[in-house]
Amino acid sequence: MVKGKSPLRKVLFYIGIILIAFIILIPFYFMLIVSLHADYDPYKTSFKNLTLRNYAEIFGMVQSTEEVFFGDEITKRNIESISEKIKRLESISKSEETYKVYLEKKLLPEKKKELKNIIELIIDFSGIAPGNREIYVERAIKKGTREYREIMENAQTILSKEDLSLLIELTEFVNDYKDKDFIDSELTKIRVQIEELKKQREKIITEKATEFPFLRYIRNSLMFAGGAALMSLFFSLLGGYAISRLKFRGKGIIQRSVLVVYLFGGTVIMVPLYQIAVKLGFLSIPFGAGMYLIIVYVIQTLPVSLYMLGNYFRTISFSIEEAAIIDGCTRMQRIFKIIIPLSAPAIVTVYIYAFMIGWNEYLFASAFLGLKSYTDLFTLPIGLNAFSQSAHSVWGRLMAASLVSAVPVIIIFSLMEKYLTAGFTAGGVKE
């Protein structure tokens, strides 16, 4: 006689399930509450004055009321520091004489002190033993002296490439600061910097919160994640069939080593992949950067997709294919008319897996798109991060966008649930 569970054990079991669900969902609870408030304060978690305005704003259905939230604070906070910097640069670059005074009284002592510190460091690490250290350092600053040549020779082996460049730059500044060509060059740099700061200030003043292109980020994420998932699925279908059905030299090695790529994390392979993209010219134009990002997503997802589908195809009896061969079917006809229909659960599972990787990916997208400022191609993770750091970030709108970004994944899971149920264990056991 089998003894049933006691009521107490059942109660404890359900309480445990509820607690686990609550702990998992508590971040979403706070995100939802914040997104339903029409202000930017994330600490207001009451159920009063709830509104859907933030959701309407991210879809561009209504205009932002950011000025109401911040008043004059947003202008003061973002352009005051820039205006002060512009004023300071304009004051020191009024004329050549004004800049000379600034150089001699302010900049030269700072640069000279920094240069002396580097020379002192080189003396300590090179083993140079000057009779009078202070006089030696002063002479080492001047170009053409024996001490200068000695310091530069030792600097080649002691300093890094960046520190050596800094040493050369400081030496040229200290020696050439009175030269007219040098002063004209520095003044030109300052004027260019002033113009850039003015453009930055103008952008902050004219920028509107409704410029948060949420729908464009959604479209880009769907394009990159969906395109990469389809390519990964196509290649894994053909590759999985080849591994499970064909006989060729090296098949065992390929089959066993297909997952070796996952021994290397994304941060390890990101730098080599970026260097390859730069040398091949992919990142020189937005289209090339987007295509390269899709290729990287395929590289990330193809090994597991290949492994799962290859193992699943082995569970399909070869006698079905033999019957198709008798009926005159070619190999491609057998794949598309027999293997694919019978493998629908595994195919759906692999597609959703590949789509999720691309949908949530941030590291490679930020490197290939963010560093080049290809804003028109920003995906949701990069867009949300850029918005959270912008001058016009509003917490309610940010939380609303984050919650809406989960909707496509929820829809896909809901539509494909019956296939997923069968596909979760597809390819899990090697036959």
43, 70, 97: which is the final residue of a domain? 70
**Same domain assignment for residues 66 and 214:** no
pLDDT, position 48 = 65
In a domain, 386, yes or no: yes
Contact 174, 116 (CB under 8 A): no
pLDDT mean values, one per 10 residues, the chain (431 residues): 64 83 75 70 58 74 51 59 84 82 83 88 82 86 87 85 86 82 83 86 61 82 93 91 84 77 79 87 88 92 88 85 86 86 86 89 88 83 78 69 81 71 46 47
Question: What CATH number corresponds to the domain at position 243?
Answer: 1.10.3720.10
What is the span of the domain harbouring residue 20?
7-70
Contact 309, 428 (CB under 8 A): no
47, 70, 93: which is the final residue of a domain? 70
In a domain, 330, yes or no: yes
pLDDT, position 430 = 46
In a domain, 130, yes or no: no
146-158 vs 108-126: helix axis angle to the nearest 10? Answer: 70
Please count the structural domains in the chain.
2
In a domain, 254, yes or no: yes
pLDDT, position 235 = 92
In a domain, 194, yes or no: no
In a domain, 146, yes or no: no
70, 94, 123: which is the final residue of a domain? 70
Contact 140, 151 (CB under 8 A): yes
In a domain, 202, yes or no: no
In a domain, 264, yes or no: yes
